[in-house]
Amino acid sequence: MGGASTVRVEDQLCFAVYAASNAVVRTYRPLLRDLGLTYPQYLALMVLWEDDGLSVRQVADRLQLPANALTPLLVRLEQLGFLSRVRDPRDGRIVRARLTSAGRRLEVRAAAVQQQVVCRTGLDDVSLAALRTQLRSLADHMAASASLKDPIEGDTA
């Protein structure tokens, strides 16, 4: 039963990435709760702290999400007073997300959360940077290979 051809969860890259991602999000959750944020809301705010006034589509692209998945999250952040959604005056089809003063002030508190999470990784700065680089490279390679849309073996379509 335990032969060499047995697929074991602990040998899988997908499980290692999944488990690490879950552990990171679980670490963030209580810290962000103190700020009144969920992890996805925090990610959206990070994009805007870096580049305020982006369109909803641009924020969604940066987070690798469909725009329609991001809209409810932005609506909630607007209700919380952290951003406003405004139509672009040059093209009314485009909705832009702009931080409010409360949203900008929240960045300082969020930076402290980020530092706490970094400390909990147990990684030094060099190791953390190398891990981020490897994960980005993995994501880029996987996305590129998925875009090739290799036919599934046995697919006769």
pLDDT tens, residue by residue, 74-130: 999 999 999 999 999 999 899 999 999 999 999 999 999 999 999 999 999 999 999
Identify the band that residue 148 occupies on the pLDDT scale cut at 50, 70 and 90: confident
Domains of the chain by residue range: 10-147
Closest CA to 115 of 98, 102, 128: 128
- Residues in Cβ contact with 96 at an 8 Å cutoff, skipping those fewer than 6 apart: 53, 54, 55, 56, 85, 86, 87, 88
Class of domain 10-147: mainly alpha
* 10-33 residue pLDDT tens: 899 999 999 999 999 999 999 999
Asked if pLDDT for residue 157 goes beyond 50, the answer is no
**Tokens found for residue 31:** 């810290």
Q: pTM of the entire structure?
A: 0.84
pLDDT for the residue numbered 27: 96
